[in-house]
Homo-oligomer: A and B are copies of this chain.
Amino acid sequence: MRKIINKPEAMVDEMLEGILAAHSDQLACAQDDLRCIITSRPKPGKVALATGGGSGHLPLFLGYVGDGLLDGCSVGSVFQSPGADQMFAVTKAIDQGAGVLYIFGNYGGDVMNFDMAAEMADMEGIRVEQVIGTDDVASGVRGQEAKRRGVAGIFFVYKVAGACAAAGGSLEEVKAVAEKANRQARTMGVALSPCTIPEAGRPTFEIAEGGMEIGMGIHGEPGIRKGELREADAIVDEMLDPILEDLPFQGGDEVAVLVNGLGSTPREELYVMYRRVHDVLAARKIGVYHVYAGEFATSMEMAGASISLLKLDDELKNYLSQPASTPFFSQPQLGK
């Protein structure tokens, strides 16, 4: 295990201590619980946005708490859902009276715990709505989109919902925008190596050296094809085809692209991939409004990448272009 950590079981809490120490001007925790991260700059009257999920995916999930994005995040152990009581603590801490929108990935534990937290919030008179990220094309057939897992494309949902809330949108408006973004986002991943949960001490799944798995999930969930590692262009084609067919994305559409590194794949390679994405989209007459490339949703030191497309309309484009700033992600106003 090549990790710079102390005791494996202390990793998540020590990481949170480090994050809070480093960014005390922007982040705090609710109820003195490290695993309940909230913004230290709440905006009175704003619809509050909460997410949550297991650790090991930075900047997911807590990395998107900040100006123009989310207000709180409950943090689980590595690859484990946070508890409902933590989600509820975050909910109470961030609610400004305008209601709270939960945005989280479609994983059993998270879904159930957020449900439970919503019930608790309801009992205290806090209005809560939910939008569940389901962008991973590899994790479910067309027509059953609601069963799909949420992966890197949830960034788009956070971004537009965050901007809508910052602009004064109501809970219903923010929810509608988030739902639209989720409906119009599609992602496909490829993994080249496994990753190691610190407490386990060894990889919990296998990918042969020199192999790859198309469509593998960010916890090592089985993908749709295992095989020998191929050239970048061929990999991108294999990832893009199902994305483009699924929505479908068509000539004349305008999209935002996210090329996401899963952990140990360098940015050099992400741009080799984007080069192909660009060519394929151009050939199909799909316009590219903005490109994000880097690590947005990781699996610790997993090698691999994902490609996400978000189909834009004027509303989504406007919200995507608004500035945002967290300790992990910062964007100026786009198009200036």
Contact = CB atoms under 8 A, between A and B. Distances in A.
Interface of A: 1-7, 11-12, 14-19, 21-23, 25, 55-56, 58-59, 63, 190, 192-193, 209-210, 229, 231-233, 235, 257, 263-275, 278, 291, 293-295, 298, 300-301, 303-305, 323, 325, 327-328, 330-332, 335
Given A6-B232, A266-B263, A305-B4, A271 B330 contact: no
Nearest to A23: B291
A266 B297 CA distance: 11
A231 B5 contact: yes
Contacts of A298: 266-267
Contact of A269 (B4, B21, B190, B274): B4
Contacts of A323: 332
A101 to B, nearest CB: 24
A239 to B, nearest CB: 10
A208 to B, nearest CB: 11
Given A55-B268, A266-B301, 6 more contacts: A2-B192, A5-B269, A6-B231, A14-B271, A56-B268, A293-B327
Contacts of A332: 323, 325, 330, 332
B2 A271 contact: no
In the A-B complex, list the 8 residue pairs whose CB atoms are closest, starting with the nearest.
A264-B264, A18-B271, A18-B275, A22-B291, A58-B267, A18-B274, A21-B278, A330-B330
A232 B272 contact: no
23 contacts: A2-B193, A2-B229, A4-B190, A4-B192, A4-B235, A4-B273, A6-B233, A14-B271, A15-B269, A15-B275, A18-B271, A18-B278, A19-B271, A19-B274, A21-B278, A22-B274, A56-B266, A56-B268, A63-B267, A265-B301, A293-B327, A325-B332, A332-B332
Nearest to A3: B269
A63 B267 CA distance: 10
B268 A11 contact: yes
A271 B5 contact: no
A84 B208 CA distance: 43
Contacts of A22: 257, 271, 274, 278, 291, 293
Counting chain B CB atoms within 10 Å of each CB, the highest count among A56, A229, A335 belongs to A229
Counting chain B CB atoms within 10 Å of each CB, the highest count among A3, A192, A278, A325 belongs to A3
Counting chain B CB atoms within 10 Å of each CB, the highest count among A19, A56, A231, A271 belongs to A271
A209 B2 contact: yes
A58 B58 CA distance: 19
Contacts of A327: 293
Contacts of A16: 271
A301 B303 contact: yes
Contacts of A5: 231-232, 269, 272
